[in-house]
Structure 1
Amino acid sequence: MPDADAGTGLIVFLNGTSSSGKSSIAGELLNILDETCFHMPVDAFHAMRSRRSVAPGELPGMLRRTWAGFHRAVAGMAAAGNNVVVDHVLGEPWRLRDCLGLFPPRNVVLVGVHCSLPELERRERERGDRPVGLAARQFGFVHAHGLYDVECDTTTASAAECARRIRDFLPRRPFPTAFERLAAGAGGAGGAGGAGG
């Protein structure tokens, strides 16, 4: 893994819809990257929440606070010098804006994790642990910002193949990074609204 700015860890930021394979890729990356990394999935933060029922009117605010806390936890881990593999769903524009304000843009490798909608729907049915249609609701929004450092498509490529592609990209990643360009206002960071995830 290439050196990040002194004292700050590298953030490998996997963005894609639910069921696109982000967690599987992250697991493979942790097995093949040379340096110690931490996988920080947003699902783990949702799972920490107490099981009490939440009134419908409270749900949006609670979910937003969960995502905002997740972003700050990632930023804190990287600021302490830890390399982090994040799996994320940029289903609403504010999530990307929040991350752009928190993460050092030069130290972020933004990875687009793509998958065809029919395959996403097949995986969703097979998994049975996601709301039906979640991936379809996210599909048109998660990649709306349009800029990545590296991309992969899990429709046909395995998680291991995608992880190797990302690993091989890291030593030769160009600058400015996608996050640097997005932070400078390129690529529509404040683009169209979208479905949550």
Structure 2
Amino acid sequence: MSQIIFLHGASSSGKSTIARALQQRIEKPFWHISIDHLRDAGVLPRDRFQSGEFDWSEERPRFFAGFHQSLASYAAAGNNLILEHILDTDGWIETLVELFEPHDVFFVAVHCSVPVLNERELKRGDRPLGSAEMDQKSIHQKRIYDLEIQSEDGVVANVQSILEVWRSGLRRSEFSLHLE
């Protein structure tokens, strides 16, 4: 059984910063995985999608199905994961609950105020303006977490909270409800 710390929050909410700091503090080796890593590594022909030569809406379902399967494969091979993801599509949570069933998943909500999201999104410049706010308003609805944090509380405090609750072994998210 692998351990998965799943950071779920809007784009620009601080997931990457928290994940990097968590990876430095946690007592076991954990891979830090996100879609941004794949995007930044050039896995996708991004320019061709942006030019309209390829249709992202047609490719997106296959891309994410492969991404989700790869996460399950990494975990099945015995790798611990710090996963950053945005569950913005119907059916993804159910798929991931099933794929991660053999593993210990610690599901964390990363919240961030809209003004801070907007400021970060503007600075990043790699997202359509307003997408983070749209995510923040919808992605946490009906989710059941093991822990909820506020990114403005600071990285040190958030990592400490994650580690304390994760180490306790208490799980109550939708990833652990099927175990009861």
**Could you state the TM-score of these two structures normalised by the residue count of structure 2?**
0.88
Preserved CA contact (<8 Å) 2:2 2:103: no
Question: 1:157-184 CA distances to partner (integer Å, 9 max, x unpaired)?
Answer: 1122211110111121324543122x58
- Residues 36-185 of structure 1 mapped to structure 2, 5 A cutoff: 36-47=29-40, 48-54=43-49, 55=52, 58-104=55-101, 107-154=104-151, 156-181=152-177, 183=178
Pair 83,106 (structure 1): closer, same or farther in 2 beyond 3 Å: closer
- Residues 1-12 of structure 1 mapped to structure 2, 5 A cutoff: 8-12=1-5
**Displacement of 1:37:** 0.6
Separation (CA, whole Å) in 1 of partners of 2:91 and 2:54 = 20
Match of 1:4 in 2: none
Match of 2:22 in 1: 29
Residue 13 of structure 2 aligns to which amino acid in structure 1? S
Separation (CA, whole Å) in 1 of partners of 2:123 and 2:171 = 40
Preserved CA contact (<8 Å) 1:109 1:178: no
Preserved CA contact (<8 Å) 2:97 2:174: no
Question: 1:39-68 CA distances to partner (integer Å, 9 max, x unpaired)?
Answer: 001112234112452348832231222221
Preserved CA contact (<8 Å) 1:105 1:179: no
5+ residue gaps, structure 1: 1-7, 185-197
Query: Alignment length, in residue pairs?
Result: 175
Separation (CA, whole Å) in 1 of partners of 2:81 and 2:95 = 17
